[in-house]
Structures are given as C-alpha cells and as structure tokens.
C-alpha cells in the first residue's frame, strides 16, 4: 500500500491498491487525513475491477470497470472543527461542486454527488484534479481504484 500524504489543503491516496479487495468489497472511511477501515465519515465501498460505491448507497452494485480502465473516486469535503464551546470534529461532504480532471489527453468536468464523491472510470495514466483553485496530482492504474480527497475549506462551529 502506498503512503498517504497531506499537501496544503489537499490529501489523498493515489492509486490505492487494496490487499484482499479482489475477493470482495471493502468499506473504507475518510477520517480527515486518510482513507482507512473503520472510519465512518465519507465511507466508500471498493473492490478491484469495479466502480466504487458510496456506502450510503447500500449494497454495492456490481458495475465492472470497462476493459483497459481504472477507477477514480474523488471526495470533496469541508473539514469540521470545534469552536470555543464544543468540539465538532468530522468531515462534511461538498455536494454539487465541480471537479476538473485533466490528463491522458483529455479533460473531464463532473459534479460531486450528495456524499461529496465524483466517481469515474478512466484510462490508466497521470491526472490532475482541480477544485476551487486547488490541484492534486494522481495516478489511475488499470483495474485498481485511486482514492483522492480534496479539502475545500474548514468550518468552525460554536
């Protein structure tokens, strides 16, 4: 598994290859820094060779990736933070925001769903995702799922 990293306002796991994913679906959540098992926020179900499915959709649909492609799931979120009165940790999805993906001699623009995800099947290669002036480089591998999270802001609560 590759190292996860946080760069400025952007974070993610490019080309995340999941051990054991070939035998079944795995549910991963996003904790504000990483996609990992057991984290509840931003949960997504992944399996090599299939389009990922947000966990809120229920049982995963068995949508196989088209031949010669990999999957990309971009999570756009606002980081929740506490104020003076109470802590308020968490991830708030950014629904309906436009994400631009460029690379592999193409440019694609899509909107996130209610869970903050943009899910696509793309040819393998290097891409750049852009949201609200921030950009993130990522790699899509054939038959694998690349999970990328982009923080579009921080919400303070009181």
What residue ranges do the domains of the chain occupy? Answer: 5-153
Phi, psi of 30 (to 5 degrees): -110, 125
Between residues 33 and 15, which one has the greater pLDDT?
33
CATH topology of domain 5-153: Immunoglobulin-like (2.60.40)
Confidence at 8, pLDDT banded by 50, 70, 90 = very low
Confidence at 39, pLDDT banded by 50, 70, 90 = low
- Nearest CA to 116 out of 73, 62, 65 is that of 73
Confidence at 18, pLDDT banded by 50, 70, 90 = very low
139 touches 146 (CB < 8 A): yes
């Amino acid at each position: 598994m590759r190292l996860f990293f946080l760069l400025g306002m952007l974070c993610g796991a490019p080309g995340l290859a999941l051990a054991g994913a070939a035998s079944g679906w795995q549910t991963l959540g996003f904790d504000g820094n990483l996609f990992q098992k057991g984290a509840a926020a931003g949960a997504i179900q992944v399996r090599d060779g299939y389009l990922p499915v947000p966990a809120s959709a229920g049982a995963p649909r068995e949508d196989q990736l088209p031949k010669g492609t990999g999957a990309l799931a971009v999570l756009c979120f606002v980081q929740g933070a506490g104020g003076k009165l109470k802590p308020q940790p968490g991830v708030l999805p950014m629904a309906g925001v436009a994400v631009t993906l460029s690379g592999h001699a193409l440019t694609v623009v899509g909107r996130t769903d209610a869970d903050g995800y943009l899910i696509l099947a793309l040819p393998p290669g290097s891409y750049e995702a852009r949201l609200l002036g921030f950009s993130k480089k990522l790699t899509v591998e054939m038959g694998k799922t690349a999970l990328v999270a982009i923080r579009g802001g921080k919400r303070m609560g009181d």
